[in-house]
Amino acid sequence: MSLVIGADVCKSSVVFCCLDTDNPPEDYNEFYRNGDNFQTAHANIHGLKMILDLKPDVIVLEPTGVNYSRLWIDKLGEAGVRVAQVPHQACKVHRSLLRLPDKDDPADALTLGMYYLQYSDDPRRFVINRDAITYQLRDRVLRLQHLVKVQNIMVNRIKQDLAYCFPERQNVKAEAPLFWGWLAGQRKSIRYDTELEASIGLGISGDAKIAAKALYNNMLREKEVEREMLEIIKDPQFDKYRKVLSSYGFGQRGQAMIISQLFPLGNFLDDKGKPIVERSRGRISKKPTLKHLSERRVLKMLGLAPSREQSGTSVDKTKKAGSTLCRTAFWQWCLTRIEKTSGRLKGDVGDRLHIKYTELLGSNPTKLARSKFHAYVARQIFYDLVAELNKD
């Protein structure tokens, strides 16, 4: 017998229920309606002890980024409790199959527990559990992205003040640390002092100085987080990944984003370290066809796999699923290393990719050509990584 806890993570607590693997509930709705089957553990020492005293073998959660669930994942993991995470969409579908209400914490907790009881033998149905170093890398990547996003908002706000305070500099670029440091009163600049004296503006207001100081501190923090991130990816376990990504011209930020999604690549491969490929019959053609499952999962993780939505007789809609950060990283890489002549990737890899990109542009609209090219490059990186990892 094993004790499985299905837990729905809230802002400062978890709502959970206990399930016996040898004696699961026969009537889910009756189990759900009995309020005694559900408990709430708050995010404090007493709540943690409440769960640990039950001596669970597994606790099943939905992933909530690196915020709400992080406390429970780390603390329960330290206590030796296995943590399994169910993808959001899978939880939604399974809850519907169990005919449990939506947007209800006890229903979610029961759904998570029942999902584990049914699919515990198939690890591909659960979110990848990353090791501590990879988790730190992902945390730094997301933190850095947040700082950049906040920084852009702050820059735009200050530029509005500069329109009447110092109009000659209202179009200053975000990548001008000396100017922002000077405006914040943290750095000296004779150049900007002279320009301000000759300006027709009304002078730097107190609000502009306060906002500039906050922006400057944000920039300093961004540099610090980036330094921490770059230190993490120097870990030897990432060496082969960085080698392959460097050969494609990805910078360190782009490498960190991609590695945080794909490491370890073995989670996408079979027991022999090879890509998983299944043979099946096509739905329409009825002919034998190969499904490259590992390749599809990698593309989805990188935000480059189209997800089709169908509804009755309406036209199919497709959208990209997966990591928005990685999708952006591929777009930036394509712009700087493929499209722009000045920074174009050189060597055999660069020549091959440029020929492929030119070919796609010749037969597709620009937006579609880019999308197809990003997916093509991701496939090449995947198979190069497989080859690199299997060298030993």
**DSSP letters for 244-296:** HHHHTT--HHHHHHHHHHH-SGGGGB-TTS-B-EEEEE-TTT-SEEEEEHHHH
Question: The tokens of 285 are what?
Answer: 């053609």
Q: Residue 351: enclosing H or E segment and its boundaries?
A: helix 347-363
- Where a domain ends, among 232, 260, 276? 232
Taking the CA atoms of residue 192, residue 196, residue 198 and residue 203 in that order, the dihedral angle to the nearest 10 degrees is 180
281: β partners: 288
Amino acid identity at 167: P
User: Comparing 208 with 127, which gets the higher pLDDT?
Assistant: 208
Indicate the pLDDT class of residue 56, thresholds 50, 70 and 90: very high
- pLDDT, mean of residues 125-134: 79
Q: Rounded to whole angstroms, how far apart are CA atoms 223 and 373? A: 31
> Does 96 share its domain with 175?
no
pLDDT at position 1: 61
> Does residue 264 have a cis bond before it (omega within 30 degrees)?
yes
| Mean pLDDT, the chain, whole residue set | 88
- pLDDT, mean of residues 100-116: 90
pLDDT at position 65: 55
For 111, residues 6+ apart whose C-beta sits below 8 A from its C-beta are: 6, 91, 94, 95, 98, 100
- pLDDT, mean of residues 79-90: 88
> Does 244 share its domain with 383?
yes
pLDDT at position 310: 46
Under DSSP, is residue 117 helix (H, G, I), strand (E, B) or coil? helix
User: Structure pTM?
Assistant: 0.75
Q: Rounded to whole angstroms, how far apart are CA atoms 328 and 349? A: 21
> Does 138 share its domain with 174?
yes
Indicate the pLDDT class of residue 128, thresholds 50, 70 and 90: confident
> Does 186 share its domain with 248?
no
> Does 248 share its domain with 350?
yes
> Does 224 share its domain with 273?
no
Most confident range, picked from 72-81, 302-311, 350-359: 350-359
Indicate the pLDDT class of residue 246, thresholds 50, 70 and 90: very high
- pLDDT, mean of residues 141-151: 89
Q: Tell me the CA end-to-end span of the chain in Å, nearest whole number.
A: 40
Does residue 284 carry a pLDDT above 80? no
Q: Rounded to whole angstroms, how far apart are CA atoms 118 and 297? A: 22
pLDDT at position 133: 87
If 0-12 CB within 10 Å is exposed, 13-18 middle and 19+ buried, where does residue 171 land?
A: exposed
pLDDT at position 315: 46
Amino acid identity at 374: H
> Does 92 share its domain with 138?
no
> Does 258 share its domain with 350?
yes
% pLDDT > 90, the chain = 52
CATH number for the domain harbouring residue 37: 3.30.420.10
> Does 116 share its domain with 210?
no
- pLDDT, mean of residues 75-79: 88
pLDDT in tens, 287-332: 778 888 899 989 988 888 765 544 444 444 555 566 788 898 999 9
pLDDT in tens, 170-228: 988 888 889 999 999 999 999 999 999 999 999 999 999 999 999 999 999 999 999 99
Amino acid identity at 100: L
User: Comparing 374 with 281, which gets the higher pLDDT?
Assistant: 374
> Does 18 share its domain with 63?
yes
Q: Rounded to whole angstroms, how far apart are CA atoms 16 and 168? A: 59
Q: For 341-361, give one letter per residue: b (16+ CB within 10 A) or e.
A: eeeebeeeebeebbebbeebb
Domain containing 294 equals 239-389
pLDDT in tens, 7-51: 999 888 999 999 998 888 888 888 998 889 999 999 999 999 999
- pLDDT, mean of residues 82-96: 88
pLDDT at position 154: 93
- Where a domain ends, among 76, 92, 125? 125
> Does 29 share its domain with 100?
yes
pLDDT at position 74: 84
Q: Rounded to whole angstroms, how far apart are CA atoms 136 and 130? A: 10
> Does 200 share its domain with 82?
no
Half-sphere exposure of 388 (CA within 13 A, CB side): 17
- Count of domains in the chain? 3
Does residue 163 carry a pLDDT above 60? yes
Indicate the pLDDT class of residue 371, thresholds 50, 70 and 90: very high
- Where a domain ends, among 125, 147, 180? 125
